[in-house]
Structure 1
Amino acid sequence: MTNRPNGPNSDLLGLLSPILAGRGHEESYLIAERQANPRSHTYWSEFVTLRFDSRPDLRIFCKYYDGSSHRDLGHGHRGGLRYEVDVYRSVLSGFDVTLPVFLGASYNDNSGETLLVLDSIDGAVKVTKAPEWKDRMHEAAQWLGRFHRLGGASDERDWAGTLMRYDSDYYRGWPERARVLARPFRSRFPGFEESCAAFGESIDTLLSLAPTLIHGKFYPKEVLVAGGAIYPVDWESAAMAPGVIDLAMFIDGWGPTAEPWIDAYCEARWAREIPNGFESALRAARLYVHMRWLGDFDELTSQQAVNPWRFEEVRKLVGQMG
């Protein structure tokens, strides 16, 4: 369900005024245009063009949460919009990588309503829609490798304790959720419950890996490219977890096409010193990604059952573990 902001332009201007004043935009301005974001999904968002008297127009990105108490946080996978604001403000500001520019935020502590404001990325398109898109995917994999290299000692950062962390309970919840949600399709996938039980070995592998800061849903649809630079967006699932999970999401469904991107990631993160056990770690992360999709909510599991590719991949990956 999308969440639309309420009220006329004057209400939005009232929210933006203290945010933009803190960024040096203290002169008067008006809203020249509001354009809904076609990518809006969990939260409603829009692009807003502000017109000033004495400077060029400013185009910003506004993302809203209306305070609905039923917000599904997906077994600890999603942190919510206020969490995303904190990630931009307190965590990402310390990383020397290309990112959307955080301008500020507004909260209503009584209702829970939240507004996140970012600078618009002019000319941005999804990485898979860009010209020479395979090259752009290669660059996105390099971006991810550098990001994880920079976050290598994340556990030592002041903000590490404020982030979601993938622990044993978190991992074990996904195969159980997937097993329950897949029960209506038991006759079609007779070995799936056994595969869920076998996921325990992958959990041990993932828990043995050093955590770093991950994006948490680093699928190509969450990665924009503009002016030759990579801009991952939607950081509400940022967490402390093995970096290989981001990689598994990035290559999800691409098969052999993704091999050069895996190499690009490894080169950017470790150069020529790829750690022992990387292949088994990536296999465990890929299995986790499938369990997360199949265990999120019933409608999504039903959609996956129509095209049983994920169920088949789970069977193959579990077989490779043996």
Structure 2
Amino acid sequence: MKILVTGGAGFIGSAVVRLAVARGHEVVNLDALTYAANPENVVSVADSPLYRFEQADIRDRAALDRVLETHRPDAIMHLAAESHVDRSIDGPGAFIETNVTGTYNLLEAARSWWLAQDRPEGFRFHHISTDEVFGSLGEEGQFTETTPYDPRSPYSASKAASDHLVRAWHETYGLPVVLTNCSNNYGPFHFPEKLVPVVILNALRGLPIPVYGDGGNVRDWLYVEDHADALLLVLEKGRLGRSYNIGGENEVKNIDLVRTICAEMDRLRPDAAPHNRLIKFVTDRPGHDRRYAIDPIRIRTELGWRPSVTIEEGLRRTVEWYLDNENWWSPLLSRQGVGERLGKA
């Protein structure tokens, strides 16, 4: 199968690219190489005859038409997105332009390509989204595929809009789509403005480790390589028009996650005092959702998928990877906004 992956130089997209190539798929990586993208994320497959790279922006319809005509993919996996909630609070316009308008452009380019090829039966458009579109949970309950949308941030609102566009293009035009909504990802190659790498790198450098509010916000953590495995499975075997929630089955409070990482740092890179001394509670993010949790029963029963990496094992692997790959993360610390407190509103 030849797969066009948008956002393939980003965190989740690059995991998909690496796994797809390893499984023998041809991959065309389309990425605009904005601030959070990094060609080093796919250096392990860059010389493979199965891999091609196209620097293009999903906001550029002409570029999308050119890429589709040149490479003639069997499927599209759409991961290109602005994704950092704090940045969306400071600058929501970029999120609307990329996540909403960009998705519209890609849908229209895909529809034109699909029609020009006489609606090939095996063609798929896989839209990858987030559980944040469902809003915030109380102490009980989980998100299912039928949970009403209730986005609370500019980021989640833009992703909710893109989800609705994809469903509309399936219902109105018959475009063969599948959708997935995932829980919080973590693992190697995670851009160093997100929580897990911030904790690791601040602990390593002896800097304060910021924890929003009281640290009681709960997330379901999904190891990124497990997520990539689930995404390829949905692409190949998911039912058309169907959405699948992908979770790690690892619900953890933010403060407990931070303390676990600090304990791993104590084990792997001991300091004069425990790293949890660096934890500093800071003013909470505006509109901070209290809890997310995924009910994964649909993907488990229909497709037989479950995550393989526990939170303890995944965090150990992740901390070890960052300690072993300073040459990857060090240059990224100078990029715009990294290391700054964003999203104060």
TM-score by length of 2: 0.25
Larger Rg: 1
